[in-house]
Amino acid sequence: MVSFRKLPNIIITGTPGCGKTSHAEEFVSQNPEFTHINVSEFAKKNDCIEGYDEDRDSSIVNEDRLLDILEPLSEKGGLVIDWHCCEIFPERWIDLVVVIRCDNTVLYNRLEARGYKQSKITENVECEIMQILLTEAMENYNSNIVVELNSESLDSLDENVSRISQWVEMWKENNPNGISNELD
């Protein structure tokens, strides 16, 4: 039996500190039919952590287990997946990839305020300068579904959430019966 999802699945990705979680939370607060999946928290709650990287000061996620748990949720649609990478998620699951970008000085200050080690701040700022996450999104998904948004203030957050909401409304209009979860 073919299954259809009536709501799109969205990834909000970007360098740590750019505002992924703030965007996802604000979007879901305005669109309660969607479910926010903060992958870092979700992985911990669902036993998807397989170790700890001392150098990066971060947990190591068992991506296969994570995907196995998320797959049935993705088939229902309406997910807003919030994580610092996007390429692990199958393209057939995803309808929009939002890459949040941030000015390097603003990013540095945000990470410093979080208490990140200098090495972690440097690594993340360099990642942002090199546009690593934007490049990963463009290489792993159809460029038509990848959107780059800047996030440096509350005004930009509000504007970005409004843009994502407008996109969702267009998706619903263009897919009144939903879309198939089956492979083409």
As for how many domains the chain has, the answer is 1
Q: Say if residue 17 carries a ligand binding annotation.
A: yes
Can you give the CATH number for the domain in which 58 is found? Answer: 3.40.50.300
pLDDT at position 3 = 84
State the 10-residue block means of pLDDT for the chain, 184 residues long.
90 96 98 98 97 88 97 96 95 97 96 94 96 97 97 93 98 94 73
Residue 34 in domain: yes
pLDDT at position 55 = 82
Q: Which of 59, 101, 95 is nearest to 77 (CA)?
A: 95
Residue 180 in domain: no
pLDDT at position 182 = 80
Number of H helices, E strands in the chain: 7, 9
Q: What dihedral angle (degrees, nearest 10) is formed by the CA atoms of 9, 26, 140, 63? A: -80
pLDDT at position 181 = 84
Q: Say if residue 114 carries a ligand binding annotation.
A: yes
Q: Say if residue 21 carries a ligand binding annotation.
A: yes
Q: Do 138 and 97 form a contact (C-beta atoms < 8 A)?
A: no
Domain that holds residue 130: 8-157
Q: Say if residue 78 carries a ligand binding annotation.
A: no
Residue 164 in domain: no
pLDDT at position 130 = 96
Helix (H) or strand (E) holding 28: helix 20-30
Q: Which of 3, 166, 1, 167 is nearest to 92 (CA)?
A: 3
pLDDT at position 184 = 60
Residue 115 in domain: yes
Q: Say if residue 20 carries a ligand binding annotation.
A: yes
Residue 174 in domain: no
Q: Which of 135, 58, 125 is nearest to 99 (CA)?
A: 135
Q: How far apart are CA 57 and CA 40, in angstroms?
A: 13
- How many residues are there in the chain? 184
pLDDT at position 172 = 97
pLDDT at position 37 = 98
Residue 18 in domain: yes
Q: How far apart are CA 37 and CA 84, in angstroms?
A: 12
pTM score of the predicted model: 0.94
Assigned token pair, 79 = 């997910």
Amino acid at 42: F
Q: Say if residue 115 carries a ligand binding annotation.
A: no
Residue 81 in domain: yes
Residue 1 in domain: no
